[in-house]
A and B are shown apart, each in its own frame.
Chain A
Amino acid sequence: DAGVTQSPTHLIKTRGQHVTLRCSPISGHKSVSWYQQVLGQGPQFIFQYYEKEERGRGNFPDRFSARQFPNYSSELNVNALLLGDSALYLCASSRDDLGNTIYFGEGSWLTVV
């Protein structure tokens, strides 16, 4: 079975632009979480979605938004990009939203110039 898949793998954007990152969870998993990881730090929780509903939101500005589709895939959108948004964006999936193990995709490396 395929693991968590993310796209794109790498991308470069200019300040002020918008970016959309995509994630497909492990087959059978209904929950998707998004994390931001800046170099030298642990992953920071951005959002969790389960059955298309937002179940958790971290301390990120409103420029960050996400959604989950009927097939449980998910998108993370970031508007008005800042240099500080440069990071590895990780998607993780789990069976449900009850604290089960989360499994990560390979991540999307975003560079804002």
Chain B
Amino acid sequence: QKEVEQNSGPLSVPEGAIASLNCTYSDRGSQSFFWYRQYSGKSPELIMFIYSNGDKEDGRFTAQLNKASQYVSLLIRDSQPSDSATYLCAVNRATGGFKTIFGAGTRLFVKA
């Protein structure tokens, strides 16, 4: 079992729709959770982080965390073609020392 699992996609949504990206993790001791966006040929850039159960909103982005289910999600409202990228879920686990582990990423395509 991978430590951080994401559906590789591609996920295709029309412009203006809501894109829903999901992630599960295996280490119950994980404390910090992150979403990064990576455009082709570029390095990952931070979108959001979340530490507590529930929702956290930042503009068009909402991160959701459910530690009991070991589940993290990212919602992108009013999706734009410029949102087309790979979205990486990352988990900072405490077991064996703090380190940030990434999923394989979900490719998102927003169709104009």
Q: Which residues of A contact B (CB under 8 A)?
A: 33, 35, 40-45, 48, 55-56, 58, 88, 90, 92, 97-107
Q: Which of B42, B46, B88, B98 contacts A97 (CB 8 A)?
A: B98
A99–B104 touching, CB < 8 Å: no
B44–A104 touching, CB < 8 Å: yes
> Is the CB of B28 closer than 8 A to any CB of chain A?
no
Please name all residues of chain B whose beta carbon is closer than 8 Å to the beta carbon of A40 when the two chains form the complex: 104
A90–B100 touching, CB < 8 Å: no
Minimum Cβ distance to chain A for residue B21 (Å): 13
Please name all residues of chain A whose beta carbon is closer than 8 Å to the beta carbon of B98 when the two chains form the complex: 48, 55-56, 97-99
Please name all residues of chain B whose beta carbon is closer than 8 Å to the beta carbon of A102 when the two chains form the complex: 34, 100
**A56-B97, A90-B43, A107-B43 given; A101·B103 CB < 8 A:** no
Total number of B residues with any Cβ neighbor in A under 8 Å: 25
Pairs A–B under 8 Å by Cβ, sample size 15: A42-B4, A42-B6, A42-B88, A42-B102, A43-B44, A55-B99, A56-B98, A97-B98, A98-B98, A99-B100, A100-B32, A101-B34, A103-B46, A106-B43, A107-B43
User: How far apart are the CA atoms of A66 and B36 in the complex, in Å?
Assistant: 25
Residues 7-47 of B contacting A (Cβ, < 8 Å): 31-32, 34, 36, 42-46
A101–B46 touching, CB < 8 Å: yes
Minimum Cβ distance to chain A for residue B62 (Å): 18
